[in-house]
Amino acid sequence: MISAADAPRNARSPRKALAGALALGVHVLFVLLLIFGVSWQTRRPAPVMVDLWQALPEPSAQPPARPQPLPPPKAPEPVKAAPPPPQPVEKEPSPPEAPDIALEKRKAEADRLKKLQAAKAAEEKAKAEEKAKAEEKAKAEAARKEREKQAAEQKRQALLRQMEAEDMKQQLAADTAANEARMTSLSEARAAASKRQAEVASVVGRYRDQISAKVRGNTRLPDDLKGNPQVRCLVKLLPTGEVVSVRVTQSSGNPAYDEAVVRALEKSSPLPLPADRDARAAFVPELSFVHRPKE
């Protein structure tokens, strides 16, 4: 007889929903981890280009500072409204447009300034921009104070304009100074390159000494050697320092001695070589080797 109790039981349903939620959770967690992990990693090595300046470039910093002191005197004095517009092209238009109060004086002043400027530019190369900056600041400050104080005095206008002209020239000077700074940074880079060369040279010298010491240790000098004759060999090297071939390019006159040096070189294989790529270039693939019995 077969009853319902005989029927095989189904395995009870496991907690499928919970398992599904957990599986999703694992993936969400992993993706979050990846997003944060990867975004942290990608942000770190962002390339940054740096220009080295000895001082901040003056011209770019000045224009925003300029307009501020000017407006206040403009408002109370309608006569003063003239100076601001010609400012950018001050050099040429200012003389004709200016009132005739101090034309002569101004011309003389301008001449003097030009000369002064030329002298300055010529003599001060390294410190020009610092000085210019300081002077400029001081002058801007003074100009502002004067303007505020003597807004009523029209006499001073010409003087003010002169000062502005001076400022413009100083701006130019600052420009040239910035250029000079750039030049100096360039020359610094060149200096760094030459420093690197010097480093390489010192490494090369050190290894040259090591090589000759090793060869010297392996040299068996012939008995009949007299004096301190010099042998010059051309050694072909593998990058590992292995000696491929040795050829005498300048004999000492004593064949036995030449032979001894060649043997010593072959015996010294591998020669010590610097790890630095640039320094290694002095040795591989060919090395001109000079040997003297007595150093």
Partner 1 sequence: MTPEIGQDLSLFHLILHASLPVQIVMALLLGASLMSWWFIFIKMFSIKRAIQVTDRFEREFWGGGDISAIYQRVAGEREGAGEMERIFEAGFREFMKLRPQTGLSLNAIIDGTRRAMRATYQRELDGLESHLAFLATVGSVSPYVGLFGTVWGIMIAFMGLSSVAQATLAQVAPGIAEALIATAMGLFAAIPAVVGYNRYTHDIDRLANRMESFMEEFSNILQRQVTSKAP
Nearer to partner 1, 37 or 255 (CB): 37
CA distance 223 to 56: 72
Q: Which of 2, 8, 48, 76 binds partner 1 (CB under 8 A)?
A: 8
Q: Is 39 in the site for partner 1 (CB under 8 A)?
A: yes
Nearer to partner 1, 34 or 126 (CB): 34
Q: Is 20 in the site for partner 1 (CB under 8 A)?
A: yes
Report the candidate in 42, 63, 158, 52 with the shortest Cα–Cα distance to residue 104: 158
Q: Is 78 in the site for partner 1 (CB under 8 A)?
A: no
Q: What angle do CA 80, 85, 90 make, to 5 degrees?
A: 100
For the chain, the maximum distance between any two Cα atoms, rounded to a whole number of angstroms, is 136
As measured in angstroms, the least distance from the Cβ of 189 to partner 1 is 24
Using CA of residue 181, residue 186, residue 187, residue 188, what is the dihedral sign?
positive
Q: Which of 24, 81, 119, 201 binds partner 1 (CB under 8 A)?
A: 24
Q: Is 42 in the site for partner 1 (CB under 8 A)?
A: yes
Q: Is 19 in the site for partner 1 (CB under 8 A)?
A: yes
Nearer to partner 1, 21 or 116 (CB): 21
First to last CA, the chain: 115
For residues 287 and 237, the answer to whether their CB atoms sit within 8 Å is yes
* Size of site (CB under 8 A) for partner 1: 23
Q: Token digits for 170?
A: 């100083």
Per the DSSP assignment, residues forming a β-bridge with 237 are 243
Q: Which of 30, 63, 91, 142 binds partner 1 (CB under 8 A)?
A: 30
Q: What angle do CA 88, 94, 96 make, to 5 degrees?
A: 145
Q: Is 35 in the site for partner 1 (CB under 8 A)?
A: yes
The residues that touch partner 1, with contacts defined as CB under 8 A, are 5-6, 8-9, 11-12, 14-16, 18-20, 22-24, 26-27, 30, 34-35, 38-39, 42
